[in-house]
Amino acid sequence: MRNICLSLFLTIFCFSAFAQQYSISGRVKNIEDGEDLIGAIVKLESGGGAYTNQYGFYSITVSKGQHKVTYSYFGYQDQTLEFNVTKDTVINIELVPEADEIEAVTVSAEKEDSKVENKEISVVKMEMKDIKEIPVIFGEVDVLKTITLLPGIQSGGEGSTGINVRGGGQDQNLIILDEATVYNASHLLGFFSVFNGDAIKGLEVYKGGIPAKYGGRLASLIDIRMKDGNSKQFAGAGGVGTISSRLTLEGPIIKDKSSFMIAGRRSYADLFLPFAPDETVQQSTLYFYDLNLKSNYKISDNDRLYLSGYFGRDVFGLGNLFGLAWGNATATLRWNHIFNQKLFANFSLVYSDFDYGFSIDFDENTNIAFDQNITDYYGKADFIYYANTKSTFTYGGQLIYHDFNPGTFTALEDVQQLDKRKAFESAIYIDHNYEIDARFNIRYGLRYSAFANMGGTLYEYVKDENGQPISDLTQETEYDNAQISNYFGGLEPRASVSYNLNTLTALKSTYNRTIQYIQQASNTASAFPTDQWFSSNNNVKPQIADQVALGLFKNFKKNFETSVEVYYKWMQNQIDYREGANLFFNDQLDGELLFGKGWSYGAEFFINKTSGTTTGFISYTWSKSMRQVDGINFNDPYPTNFDRRHNLSVVVSQKLGTRFVLSGTFVYNSGNPFSPPVGKYFYQDGWNNIYGSRNNYRIPDYHRMDLGLTLKPKESEKRFKSSWNLSVYNVYNRENPYAIYFPEANAEQAEKFGVKEGDTIAVQVALFKIIPSLTWNFEF
Amino acid sequence: MKLNKIILVLTAFIALTACEQLVQIDLPQGAQTIAVDAEISTDLRPWKVFITNTQAYYNQDTVAGVEDAIVVISDDDGNVDTLEHVENGEYRTINSRQCVPGRTYTLDIQHNNTLFSASELCRFQYDIDTFLSFFIPETNGFIQKGYYVFEVANEYEPDGDYYLWKIYRNDTMLDGFGLILDEDQNREVSFFNLNIDPNDIEKSIREDSISPRPFPFNFKLGDTVEIEQFCINKKYYEFLIELQNQQNRSGTPFDPPPANPKSNISNGAFGYFSVVNIKRASTIILE
């Protein structure tokens, strides 16, 4: 704390000493519900300007005299103020939504031309109201599924909310909800994401050009923000859908001073289980629920507190016998403080927990149970110093305490416990954004991250012929909990430049290094909640990625944005697994791991029509993602499970009259690589498959079209409004391959497929055929 | 509880709309080689080695035996046997043979100018001390009421032994669990019955310390139960485990990448040459 105060003092002193000008600062909000508007543009007529930060705060520096300032935000009416500045001035603005624009499906909620004006590259920002217009499976709005329609972001596959960003693994994305890490972002094993659309304000995805403020994962930052809660009036929203229902209530606690938001959701997928042919399935329970809470309190004009929390759980039961549950819980307490008109700060205390457990109850006295969890506690301090109109500094630090319980196994009274692990992860950073002139902008920063394992047992392993650890131990060393058992640290430079060729065209480039110290042990294409998180240690070096990206952004007419980005990424210390690796309840996990390198590259194309009666976007990505790990694939490079050459998404939204909106999505992906048999051999009275090189074949291509029709309420003065949404997933009933397997036909398969028993066959499984769904949404 | 079952149920409501279909895939094809199925043991009988050609995946012809190989089994005591081809890839010794614990056996197959070779040690193991039945009077959650068997045997070496059991009820090998593999980590074959006192079984039952693995079968009065206990090598154990895993996979994204079980035969042949020490015991289920 002393250091923070000292740095704060120095900053204020240094910059104040040279300040000859005045500041205009304040917050930009939505007039209807008082929500902060993030990324709103504050533009000076005389040149220069600023964007509001994540708390809707802005600060610009002007000289003494008359100034004209325009506040704008996409989907809202501009507001221009003219005033004479003779001292530091606070201007809080409330913008009025343009009712007509609410229907548009747009990716960026910023002002038209903002992609060119905005200096960022490899970033996607979406507001919830836009995401809600895109048709989705089972009528359930899903922010994670929606972002996979964008270039460079791939879905983990049907029935998965896992995502892969620019050739990175699913555990290489940092997903944060109001700053708290969400370790498992999926419900029902990946069919839904944990983010309730009604509770979410919007999100930002950094595929590259990650600001120095963030770190800890290699591939991306997915920053999801909850709504603050309507500070003007009590309001509610909800929906009744085919799979789940939800209700959100929000309102002022003390008008314009404090507000709350509470949102709940519960699925009832298990209502369908009695119709299943399998008796075991009929007796099962299967549901999820989640709860989002947020409240904020304005202590003074310069101080504001936010408290937010998430709690979600998946529950699965097989008769009375077997129970399985997992869930996230997060809590974030934030204090915004405006030290002066140039210095904005936020301090956060965060708790995040993911736990997973199952139990088997044989009878009253006989049961076994398994539990594992990862809990993080962290503190953060972030400062934004608006030095002048051209120069903004962002700096701060964070300290995370990780508490890993890889597994507790209880059978009757016998308890087996895998080594609990504790670690500190910390970082300090500084980032400087400097507008050299109206055309040329640079942002550069440096992050130093460090990681220390505390206590525990360190294992030394016998090395195989490639120098990789193998599961026989040579040495065990125990450490006290207060002792650092090993330590890592590294510098992560970040830089971006942008150059506006003219008002409609910009060229941007970025480089960033990211380091990742914790990862998930998953040997499958889709991660399970059971897959344990583990940290870097004496055997597992931190993962490091270096990425460069170059982009050309061009706007046409008034409402077409286009962009092309190319990237190349190098990844060190990538992890793969020995054949037959045992990753479950294994204290000596490192002996199952293999280490190598990865690289990925690609080109991303994007066309976005932002306004008019027809809106939408086309996104196409050509990409390649490779790994080379000694001990796998004869030490040759191999494509990752998610290496897809072509990814195309087309999203269109068409207004029909005043009340109907028709929207459609078309998705086309190259098939995922997999390793089919290249032959068979006879052993012990049966055929056994022979496998060749890793991922040497691709399943057939994936494509699908979804349609959605929304009927909006009539214009009226009534507060209660409801709308209907009809979505049809996979309208042309394409049987996309979910899995292909290669069995020796048993009697049942022989009869079903008309082959001889014992024939070796290929069977394709398709999950979702055409699925219509109807959702009734309301708000008041 | 198999994870596969969990996935099945978790995805069951989706599976209401899911469907399976036969597909013809233009598969890449690996080079043809041989597969070997050979097991020699401490039982006195002619040694047999089956050698077959690997086949394209979609080739549905019956397995093609390799008929022109030279097959020799030798041991480190200087004994050499050349096996003769009988039919369709089956080679055998003319006379009965039995492995001697402590010796290492080598299989050499000369075929198409390639030598395929494998060596395995025949491990020591003690006789099974005790093989008895007992009755569990109440279904206790882990196990149904009924008659069960357990065994006690000492471990010859302090570490590294792996076992495979076959269980017969009235001379019929039990299906499903007929082949049980267990990594013996507790230095005693009777790992799962560690707390059973053979002299006072009832006490063990009262104290709830019976968990009748590795023989989770419910027998009837009068059944003759026989077990064969195969003492095997770690590599063979891992081969069998991997073979079982491969056969259980369903190709979903929740499967690990497939891999060939690691053979002990050189030069890229598939299959395994195993040398096993077998001990037997039997009992009749009585009241």
Report chain B residues whose CB lies below 8 A from the CB of A318. 6, 9
Helix (H/G/I), strand (E/B), else coil: A72: strand
The residues pairing with A560 across neighbouring beta strands, listed in sequence order, are: A556, A609
Q: Nearest CA to CA, how far is B268 from chain A (Å)?
A: 11
Q: Nearest CA to CA, how far is B12 from chain A (Å)?
A: 7
Indicate whether B118 belongs to any domain: yes
Best mutation target, A702, A765, A768, to test chain B (most B CBs within 10 A): A765
Q: Choose among A159, A697, A755: nearest Cβ to B14.
A: A159
- Across the interface, whether the CB atoms of B140 and A761 are under 8 A apart is answered no
Indicate whether B50 belongs to any domain: yes
Q: Choose among B21, B60, B246: nearest Cβ to A688.
A: B246
Under 8 Å between Cβ of A348 and A380: yes
Structure tokens, A693: 């090189």
Phi-psi region of A713 (alpha: psi -120 to 50; beta: other; left: phi over 0): beta
Query: How far is Cα A189 from Cα A210, in angstroms, rounded to an integer?
Result: 29
Q: Choose among A688, A741, A761: nearest Cβ to B250.
A: A741
Task: Looking at the structure, tell me whether residues B93 and B149 fall in a common domain.
Answer: no
Task: Looking at the structure, tell me whether residues B139 and B206 fall in a common domain.
Answer: yes
Q: Choose among A677, A681, A756: nearest Cβ to B52.
A: A681
Task: Looking at the structure, tell me whether residues B133 and B91 fall in a common domain.
Answer: no
Report chain B residues whose CB lies below 8 A from the CB of A270. 13
Output the pLDDT for position A532.
83
Under 8 Å between Cβ of A258 and A298: yes
For chain B, what percent of residues have pLDDT higher than 90? 40
Query: How far is Cα A363 from Cα A320, in angstroms, rounded to an integer?
Result: 9
Strand B104-111 and strand B114-121: pairing? antiparallel
Rounded CA Rg of chain B: 22
Report chain A residues whose CB lies below 8 A from the CB of B141. 361-363, 365-367
DSSP designation for A97: B
- Across the interface, whether the CB atoms of A159 and B1 are under 8 A apart is answered no
Output the pLDDT for position A19.
44
The total domain count for chain B is 2
Vertex A688 angle, CA A686 and A693, to 5°: 170
> What mean pLDDT value characterizes chain B?
80
Sole residue written with tokens 């008309």? A754
Report chain A residues whose CB lies below 8 A from the CB of B5. 280
Structure tokens, B15: 């599976």
Q: pLDDT (tens digit, 9 = 90+) per residue, A170-212?
A: 899 999 999 999 998 888 766 778 898 889 988 999 999 999 9
Query: How far is Cα A200 from Cα A226, in angstroms, rounded to an integer?
Result: 4
Kindly report the length of chain A.
Answer: 780
> Taking the CA of residue A207 as centre, how many other CA atoms within 13 Å lie in the half-sphere pointing to its CB?
33
Indicate whether B267 belongs to any domain: no
Domain end residue (candidates: B103, B122, B141): B122
Structure tokens, A51: 């964007």
Q: pLDDT (tens digit, 9 = 90+) per residue, B23-70?
A: 988 888 888 999 999 999 999 999 999 999 999 999 998 899 999 999
Torsional sign, CA B84, B90, B96, B97: positive
Sole residue written with tokens 């989002």? A292
Indicate whether B49 belongs to any domain: yes
Q: What backbone phi and psi angles, to 5 degrees, belong to A635?
A: 70, 5
Report chain B residues whose CB lies below 8 A from the CB of A188. 10
Best mutation target, A155, A641, A680, A704, to test chain B (most B CBs within 10 A): A680
Task: Looking at the structure, tell me whether residues B149 and B184 fall in a common domain.
Answer: yes
Q: Nearest CA to CA, how far is B60 from chain A (Å)?
A: 6
Torsional sign, CA A552, A555, A559, A560: negative
The residues, ordered by sequence, that sit 6+ positions from A746 with a Cβ below 8 Å of its Cβ are: A757
Query: How far is Cα A238 from Cα A215, in angstroms, rounded to an integer?
Result: 35
Q: Nearest CA to CA, how far is B238 from chain A (Å)?
A: 9
Q: pLDDT (tens digit, 9 = 90+) per residue, B211-270?
A: 444 466 678 889 999 988 888 888 998 898 888 888 777 666 677 888 899 999 999 999
Output the pLDDT for position B139.
67
Cis peptide before B214 (omega within 30 of 0): yes
Domain end residue (candidates: B102, B122, B142): B122
The residues, ordered by sequence, that sit 6+ positions from A515 with a Cβ below 8 Å of its Cβ are: A215, A216, A218, A449, A490, A492, A542, A543, A544, A545
Helix (H) or strand (E) holding A130: helix A128-131
What's the longest Cα–Cα distance across chain A?
93
Q: Which three-class secondary structure string do you get for A742-770?
A: CCECCHHHHHHHCCCCCCECCEEEECCCC
Strand B179-183 and strand A560-577: pairing? unpaired
Task: Looking at the structure, tell me whether residues B146 and B95 fall in a common domain.
Answer: no
Task: Looking at the structure, tell me whether residues B82 and B142 fall in a common domain.
Answer: no
Output the pLDDT for position A685.
84
The domain of A743 spans 671-780
Domain end residue (candidates: B77, B96, B122): B122
Indicate whether B214 belongs to any domain: yes
Q: Choose among A156, A755, A762: nearest Cβ to B23.
A: A762
- Nearest alpha-carbon partner for A44 in A338, A388, A401: A388
Indicate whether A709 belongs to any domain: yes
Query: How far is Cα A427 from Cα A446, in angstroms, rounded to an integer?
Result: 10
Report chain A residues whose CB lies below 8 A from the CB of B18. 738, 765-768
Helix (H/G/I), strand (E/B), else coil: A58: strand
Under 8 Å between Cβ of A143 and A200: yes
Indicate whether A124 belongs to any domain: no
Indicate whether B239 belongs to any domain: no
The domain of B132 spans 128-232+279-284
Indicate whether A29 belongs to any domain: no
The total domain count for chain A is 1
Sole residue written with tokens 């390799």? B66
Indicate whether A374 belongs to any domain: no
Output the pLDDT for position A182.
93
Instruction: Give the residue from chain B lying closest to A524, CA to CA.
Output: B256
Task: Looking at the structure, tell me whether residues B193 and B135 fall in a common domain.
Answer: yes
Q: Which three-class secondary structure string do you get for chain B?
A: CCHHHHHHHHCHHHHCCCEEEECCCCCCCCCCCEEEEEEEECCCEEEEEEEEECECCCCCCCCCECCCCEEEEEECCCCEEEEEEEECCEEEEEEEECCCCCCEEEEEEEECCEEEEEEEECCCCCCEEEEEEEEECCCCCCCCCEEEEEEEEECCCCCCCEEEEEEEECCEECCCCCEEEEECCCCECCHHHCCCCCCCHHHHHHCCCCCCCCCCCCECCCCEEEEEEEEECHHHHHHHHHHHHHHHCCCCCCCCCCCCCCCCCCCCCEEEEEEEEEEEEEEECCC
Q: Choose among A362, A528, A680: nearest Cβ to B55.
A: A680
Sole residue written with tokens 């300290």? A399
Vertex A80 angle, CA A79 and A82, to 5°: 150
Indicate whether A721 belongs to any domain: yes
Report chain B residues whose CB lies below 8 A from the CB of A324. 6
Output the pLDDT for position B212.
43
Helix (H) or strand (E) holding A147: helix A143-147
Low-confidence residues of chain A: pLDDT under 70: 1-20, 99-118, 135-139, 159-161, 189-190, 269, 272-273, 275-281, 319-321, 362-366, 412-413, 526-527, 529
Output the pLDDT for position B210.
46
DSSP designation for A701: P
The residues pairing with A711 across neighbouring beta strands, listed in sequence order, are: A660, A724
Best mutation target, A161, A682, A746, A749, to test chain B (most B CBs within 10 A): A682
- Across the interface, whether the CB atoms of B13 and A761 are under 8 A apart is answered no
- Across the interface, whether the CB atoms of A768 and B63 are under 8 A apart is answered no
Q: Nearest CA to CA, how far is B91 from chain A (Å)?
A: 15
Task: Looking at the structure, tell me whether residues B111 and B134 fall in a common domain.
Answer: no
Indicate whether A705 belongs to any domain: yes
Q: Which three-class secondary structure string do you get for A37-49?
A: CCCCEEEECCCCE
DSSP designation for A717: S
Output the pLDDT for position A472.
78
Report chain B residues whose CB lies below 8 A from the CB of A272. 13, 16
Torsional sign, CA A146, A149, A153, A155: positive
- Across the interface, whether the CB atoms of A159 and B250 are under 8 A apart is answered no
Burial bucket for residue A374 (CB in 10 Å: 0-12, 13-18, 19+): buried
Distance (Å) of CA A203 to CA A142, A224, A261? 12, 4, 18
Distance (Å) of CA B174 to CA A226, A582, B43, B177, B178? 59, 28, 21, 6, 5
* CB pairs < 8 Å spanning A and B: 220
- Across the interface, whether the CB atoms of B6 and A690 are under 8 A apart is answered no
Under 8 Å between Cβ of A105 and A130: yes
Task: Looking at the structure, tell me whether residues B132 and B187 fall in a common domain.
Answer: yes
Report chain A residues whose CB lies below 8 A from the CB of B178. none
Q: Choose among B21, B24, B257: nearest Cβ to A694.
A: B257
DSSP designation for A538: S
Q: Nearest CA to CA, how far is B211 from chain A (Å)?
A: 12
Query: How far is Cα A528 from Cα A525, in angstroms, rounded to an integer?
Result: 10
Under 8 Å between Cβ of A76 and A98: yes
The enclosing domain of B37 has a CATH number of: 2.60.40.1930
Task: Looking at the structure, tell me whether residues B53 and B141 fall in a common domain.
Answer: no
Task: Looking at the structure, tell me whether residues B100 and B150 fall in a common domain.
Answer: no
Instruction: Give the residue from chain A lying closest to B242, CA to CA.
Output: A580
Sole residue written with tokens 């507190």? A305
Report chain A residues whose CB lies below 8 A from the CB of B10. 188-189, 286, 316
Instruction: Give the residue from chain A lying closest to B241, CA to CA.
Output: A580
Helix (H) or strand (E) holding A145: helix A143-147
Under 8 Å between Cβ of B212 and B190: no
Report chain A residues whose CB lies below 8 A from the CB of B260. 690-691
Strand B270-284 and strand B34-41: pairing? parallel
> Taking the CA of residue A405 as centre, how many other CA atoms within 13 Å lie in the half-sphere pointing to its CB?
15
Q: With b meaning 16 or more CB within 10 Å and e meaning fewer, what string describes A568-603?
A: ebebbbbbbbbbbbebbbbebbbbbbbbbbbbbbbe
Task: Looking at the structure, tell me whether residues B135 and B49 fall in a common domain.
Answer: no
Report chain A residues whose CB lies below 8 A from the CB of B209. none
Indicate whether A703 belongs to any domain: yes
- Across the interface, whether the CB atoms of B9 and A280 are under 8 A apart is answered yes
Q: Give the torsion through C-alpha atoms of A627, A629, A633, A638, to 10 deg.
A: 10
Ranges of beta strands (E only) in A560-634 are: 560-577, 593-609, 614-629
Best mutation target, B207, B234, B252, to test chain A (most A CBs within 10 A): B252
Output the pLDDT for position B73.
97
Query: How far is Cα A89 from Cα B263, in angstroms, rounded to an integer?
Result: 79
